[in-house]
Amino acid sequence: MEKTLQTLRWYLSQYMARLLLIALLCAVGGVILSDLAFYSTGGYELKNVVQTLPYELIATVFAWIAGGSFFIPQFKMALANGVSRKTYLLACLPAIAAFAAALSIFGLILAWVHSLFWPAVLITNVLYPLNGWFGVALVQFAAYFLMTVFGCFIAILMYRSNGLARWVLLLAPVWFYIILVADASDAGRVMQALIGYLRLTLGFVVMEAPNPYIAVLSLSVYAFITSGIIYLMMRRVPLKME
Amino acid sequence: MSDIEIRHVSKAYGKTKALKDVSVAITGAKVYGLLGRNGAGKTTLLNILTNRIFADSGEIRVDGESAMENDRAQAKIFYMTEQTLYPKNMRVRNVFQLTRGFYPSFDLTYAHALAERFQLRPESRIGALSTGYLSIFKLILTLASNAPVMIFDEPVLGLDANHRDLFYRELLARYQAAPNTVILSTHLIEEAAALLEEVIILKEGQVLFARPVDELLQLAYVVSGSQENIDRYAKGKRVIREEALGRYKSITIYQPCSSADQEMLARLGLDQAPARLQELFINLTN
Amino acid sequence: MRINIDSQIPIFIQLAEIVEDNILNGIYDEETQIPSTTEVAVALKVNPATINRGVNLLVERGIVYKKRGVGMFVCNGAREKIRARRRKAFLSDFLQPLLEEARNLGISKSEVIAMLNGYNSEETNQRRSADE
């Protein structure tokens, strides 16, 4: 059984490594683009101004896409090889963790390389007062891990839905927008509550001294809960062919 | 080889009952034929056995332990599905490699040798394979898996005559080299008949038969001759097939031929022949 | 070797007959090895259990014997045994159908005998080899 788990982990890591490569290329591309934009608008005189890198935004979106794209195809592959759903999920989590760790470490490297010729800072640094590299890596890791798991969640949700429910899900941004518009006409109470909640869980209780470790904790708890929901949704899911 | 025990398995899709209280045992190193018309529940049963889907009730045991969500039990089974469950951009070669990780008994050298004999390029991507080559790819995986239970669901789908022939030969050679439990689910009964040792016939989600081919064939026989004599002979007997060509008539009788029957056959000058599996199957599942 | 799956004769008996034919023809000599169950099963695409039944039939008849771990060999005197058994069966297997067919066609027994007397087997053999 150990062998199955090992094989699956090895294979998933390989697969995630490919996704990682694409993510990193895009992130580097995004950073270069933002540099160019900054350079062309501000001119070379701005070369001593600290650049905020868009790396985390791109990486977060990629983490989400990665989770959404690998989860179901690899699940089918695992089923073809007699792997139980539980074992599959157990193999996925470490692979996702490795993926998130690689993304966050690369963020640090990118920022360091970038600052060699142009001062740069990561968004995490802007948001939280962090001194060592470890804290920055940890916040990023928690965020990427959650986003990848969340991608998996969306994937299994889509997989379990029939045609109509899928459309409802796909149009989620639209529903969200409608809610916001409706809310705006109602003094934005929902929005206020949402912001309040986010401030609380992301460690911004005191605006002047945000606490990154509260964010790490909340993100981890979300990831844990999402994983649990995924397991429940997976437990008796039949194989479906599209 | 492994022993599989299917106990009271039922499965419904909405209002359609795909399997109704199916109980059957598959034991030891034999070649089983799982036969049934389209929609009889063959694939549903195999899918439940291999955890692709779940039964509504009942259970399946592999060597005494439950097969459901059990990695150890599932590791003993390699199931060639009609669907392709591998990512489309994966290469044949990589799937071979990967399968060996899951099935330590997978024979990589043999898989490559087979690929060469079937002219399947290991560099091909799964998504680029034609129906026939997809079947070939999957049957190579199954043959090379060396799993104690090898299940083939419509293995020769889209294969030309040469490749079908090659498959049946390889299957037998493999089976003899390492006797495993082989389950062939097919509707090409005529082709596979001589390969089978046991048959399980499903009809409308129920087991119609589960016994050795020989026993099944002894349950019926074909009689032919002149119409009057045939009619005289058939009186009071269970006839499952009738075919008349002018005054010539041929019938299949579904009951053993007693010695009194033998005498009567001789007296009436009728010809007797054993029933064929295909024929019996068609008439029983109609 | 060819097996007729549609035949009225069970496969394992057909198989035994084929092996016997080959022994009679001298293709398999006495005290020489005959193909293994595996080889035969693969060649004929027939379940090995069926092949084994055919082999067992031959063992029962004293035509072949098994050497453990080596394979199957033709018994000493197998050819004679086959001949003796087939000679006994000649009447029911060949003469009876011949006479039945003759009766169906309205050929009398004496006509059949006349045919047999006039039948030149050498000429037929020559014609057959010319065909091949």
Helices assigned H by DSSP within chain A: 2-42, 55-80, 85-117, 123-127, 133-160, 163-170, 172-184, 189-201, 212-234
Q: Does residue C24 sit within a domain?
A: yes
Q: Does residue C32 sit within a domain?
A: yes
Q: Does residue A38 sit within a domain?
A: yes
CB atoms under 10 Å from CB of A134, counted, come to 10
CB < 8 Å to B79, chain A? 80, 82
Q: Answer yes or no: pTM beyond 0.80.
A: yes
Total domain count, chain A = 1
**Burial of B100: CB neighbours in 10 Å, binned 0-12, 13-18, 19+:** middle
Q: Which residues contact A219 (CB under 8 A, 6 or more apart)?
A: A142, A143, A145, A146
Looking at the domain that runs over B3-212, which CATH code has it been given? 3.40.50.300
Q: Which of residues 113-132 of B touch C (CB under 8 A)?
A: none
Look up residue C3 and give its DSSP letter. Answer: -
End-to-end alpha carbon distance in chain B: 33
Q: Which of B31, B173, B274 sits opposite C38 (nearest CB)?
A: B173
End-to-end alpha carbon distance in chain A: 30
Query: Which 3 state secondary structure label does DSSP give B203?
Result: strand
Q: Does residue C125 sit within a domain?
A: yes
Contact B75 A82 (CB under 8 A): yes
In Å, how far from its chain's centre is CA A131?
23
Q: Does residue C72 sit within a domain?
A: yes
Q: Does residue C94 sit within a domain?
A: yes
Does A77 reach chain B within 8 Å, measured CB to CB? yes
Beta bridge partners of B7: B59
Structural domain spans, chain B: 3-212, 219-285
Structural domain boundaries, residue C118: 79-131
Contact B169 C37 (CB under 8 A): no
Of C54, C76, C98, the residue that ends a domain is C76
Q: What is the pLDDT of residues A161-200, one digit of tens each?
A: 988 888 988 898 899 889 888 888 878 888 888 889 988 8
**CA A175 to CA B187: how far, in whole Å?**
50
Q: What is the pLDDT of residues A102-151, one digit of tens each?
A: 999 999 999 899 888 788 888 888 888 877 888 889 999 999 999 999 99
Q: Does residue C6 sit within a domain?
A: no
Q: Which of A1, A10, A239 sits opposite B53 (nearest CB)?
A: A239
Q: What is the pLDDT of residues B108-154, one digit of tens each?
A: 999 999 999 999 999 999 999 999 999 999 999 999 999 999 999 99
For residue B243, the distance in angstroms to the closest alpha carbon of chain C comes to: 17
CB < 8 Å to C37, chain B? 176
Contact B197 C49 (CB under 8 A): yes
Q: Does residue A126 sit within a domain?
A: yes
Does A242 reach chain B within 8 Å, measured CB to CB? no
Identify the contact set of chain C against chain B, taking CB-CB distances under 8 A: 3, 5-6, 8, 10-11, 37-38, 41-50
Which pair of structure tokens corresponds to residue A134? 């470890």
Of C55, C76, C97, the residue that ends a domain is C76
Q: Position A185: which residue type?
A: S
Which of A29, A96, A98 is closest to A68 using CA atoms? Answer: A96
Sign of CA dihedral A38, A42, A44, A47: negative
**CA B104 to CA B94: how far, in whole Å?**
15
Structural domain boundaries, residue A78: 2-160+202-234
Sign of CA dihedral C58, C59, C64, C69: positive
Enumerate residue ranges in chain B where pLDDT < 50: none
Tell me: do C24 and C42 sit in the same domain: yes
For residue B208, the distance in angstroms to the closest alpha carbon of chain A comes to: 27
pLDDT (tens, 9 = 90+) of chain C, 132 residues, equals 567 766 667 888 889 998 999 999 888 998 999 988 888 888 888 888 889 889 999 999 999 998 888 889 999 999 999 999 899 888 888 888 888 889 889 998 888 888 888 887 655 555 555 554
Tell me: do C54 and C83 sit in the same domain: no
Q: Does residue C5 sit within a domain?
A: no
Q: Are strands B221-226 and B271-274 parallel, antiparallel or unpaired?
A: antiparallel
**Burial of B285: CB neighbours in 10 Å, binned 0-12, 13-18, 19+:** middle
Contact B172 C45 (CB under 8 A): yes
Q: CATH number for the domain including C70?
A: 1.10.10.10
Identical fold between B3-212 and B219-285: no
Tell me: do C64 and C109 sit in the same domain: no
Q: Which of residues 24-53 of B touch C (CB under 8 A)?
A: 30-31
Which pair of structure tokens corresponds to residue A149? 């798991």
Q: Does residue C4 sit within a domain?
A: no
Contact B175 C48 (CB under 8 A): yes
Q: Which of B31, B173, B194 sits opposite C42 (nearest CB)?
A: B173
pLDDT at site B65: 95
pLDDT at site B281: 87
Does B43 reach chain A within 8 Å, measured CB to CB? no
Q: Report domain B219-285's class.
A: alpha beta
pLDDT at site C1: 54
Does B51 reach chain A within 8 Å, measured CB to CB? yes
CB < 8 Å to C50, chain B? 194, 197
Does B104 reach chain A within 8 Å, measured CB to CB? yes
Q: Does residue A146 sit within a domain?
A: yes
Q: pLDDT band for position A39 (50/70/90)?
A: confident
CB < 8 Å to A74, chain B? 87
pLDDT at site B51: 94
Of C76, C92, C122, the residue that ends a domain is C76
Q: What is the pLDDT of residues A50-89, one digit of tens each?
A: 778 889 999 999 999 999 999 999 999 999 999 999 999 9
For residue C46, the distance in angstroms to the closest alpha carbon of chain B comes to: 5
Please give the backbone phi and psi of residue A124, each rounded to the nearest 5 degrees, phi first.
-55, -40
**CA A7 to CA B23: how far, in whole Å?**
35
Query: Which 3 state secondary structure label does DSSP give B125?
Result: strand
Which of C38, A203, A103, A80 is closest to B177 using CA atoms? Answer: C38
E-only strand ranges, chain B: 4-13, 16-26, 31-36, 57-62, 65-66, 77-80, 149-153, 181-185, 198-203, 206-212, 221-226, 239-245, 248-253, 271-274
CB < 8 Å to C47, chain B? 31, 172, 194-197
Q: Which of A4, A77, A85 sits opposite B75 (nearest CB)?
A: A4
pLDDT at site C131: 52
pLDDT at site B109: 96
Chains C and A touch (3+ CB pairs under 8 A): no
Does B98 reach chain A within 8 Å, measured CB to CB? yes
Mean predicted confidence (pLDDT) in A7-29? 86
Does B203 reach chain A within 8 Å, measured CB to CB? no
Q: Which of residues 86-115 of B touch C (CB under 8 A)?
A: none
Mean predicted confidence (pLDDT) in A150-154? 96
Q: Does residue A167 sit within a domain?
A: no
CB atoms under 10 Å from CB of B53, counted, come to 19
Total domain count, chain C = 2
Does B236 reach chain A within 8 Å, measured CB to CB? no
For residue B27, the distance in angstroms to the closest alpha carbon of chain A comes to: 20
Average pLDDT, chain A: 88
For residue A99, the distance in angstroms to the closest alpha carbon of chain B comes to: 20
Sign of CA dihedral B160, B165, B168, B170: negative
